[in-house]
């Protein structure tokens, strides 16, 4: 059974992380250490070194559709992906999807018409924190 308190705590932590990301996505992307050990990436997994293979969001772009997946990540009651988000380079929030342990951690978003530039896809694990993939479309 899903515990309401855990859900609320996880949702609050995710919201704070998303606000931090959307307020300065370019600062992190340009090599700032301001978000070190708060946001993890394939190249900087921090304390979660060795875990990046199942936590880094995998991004696929087809025309104006972006799919975010963490297909190798287990989805059990004890360990699962809680949320994906997609944010444009200027901080524009495209969308997000929250998951339960019984869901498949995959989400699809539509980019604004004609958008070209960087996108930031995030994945939040209930045990291994907040992960980011930056892609240019």
Q: What is the pLDDT of residues 14-73, one digit of tens each?
A: 544 444 444 444 444 445 555 666 788 999 988 898 888 889 999 999 989 999 997 688
Q: Taking 50 as the threshold, does the pLDDT of residue 126 lie above it?
A: yes
| Exposure class string for 47-83: b at 16+ Cβ within 10 A, else e | ebeebbebbbbebeeeeeebbbbbeebeeeeeebbbb
Which residue range forms the structural domain that includes residue 11?
A: 4-136
> What confidence category does residue 101 fall into, taking pLDDT thresholds of 50, 70 and 90?
very high
Pairwise CA distance, residues 85 & 97, whole Å: 7
Q: What is the CATH number of the domain that holds 34?
A: 2.60.40.730
Q: Taking all residues of the chain, what is their mean pLDDT, rounded to a whole number?
A: 81
pLDDT reported for residue 70? 74
pLDDT reported for residue 113? 93
Ramachandran area for residue 50 (φ above 0: left; ψ -120 to 50: alpha; else beta): left
| Segment 108-114 mean pLDDT | 96
Count of beta carbons in the 10 Å neighbourhood of residue 124: 26
Could you tell me which residue, 10 or 22, shows the higher pLDDT? 10
pLDDT reported for residue 71? 67
- For 60, 116, 127, 135, the CA distances from 10, given in Å and listed in that order, are 26, 32, 10, 26
pTM score, two decimals?
A: 0.73
Number of domains in the chain: 1
Q: What percent of the chain has pLDDT over 70?
A: 72
| Segment 94-113 mean pLDDT | 96
Could you tell me which residue, 51 or 99, shows the higher pLDDT? 99
């Amino acid at each position: 059974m899903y515990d309401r308190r855990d859900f609320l705590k996880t949702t609050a932590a995710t919201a704070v992380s998303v606000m931090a990301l959307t307020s300065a996505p370019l600062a992190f992307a340009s090599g700032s250490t301001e978000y070190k050990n708060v946001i993890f990436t394939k190249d900087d997994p921090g304390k979660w070194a060795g875990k990046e293979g199942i936590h880094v969001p995998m991004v696929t772009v087809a025309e104006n559709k972006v799919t975010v997946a963490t297909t190798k990540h287990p989805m059990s009651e004890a360990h699962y992906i809680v949320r994906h988000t997609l944010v444009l380079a200027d901080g524009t929030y495209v969308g997000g999807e929250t998951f339960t342990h019984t869901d498949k951690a995959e989400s699809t978003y539509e980019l604004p018409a004609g958008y070209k530039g960087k996108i930031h896809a995030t994945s939040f694990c209930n045990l291994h924190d907040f992960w980011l993939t930056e892609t240019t479309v």
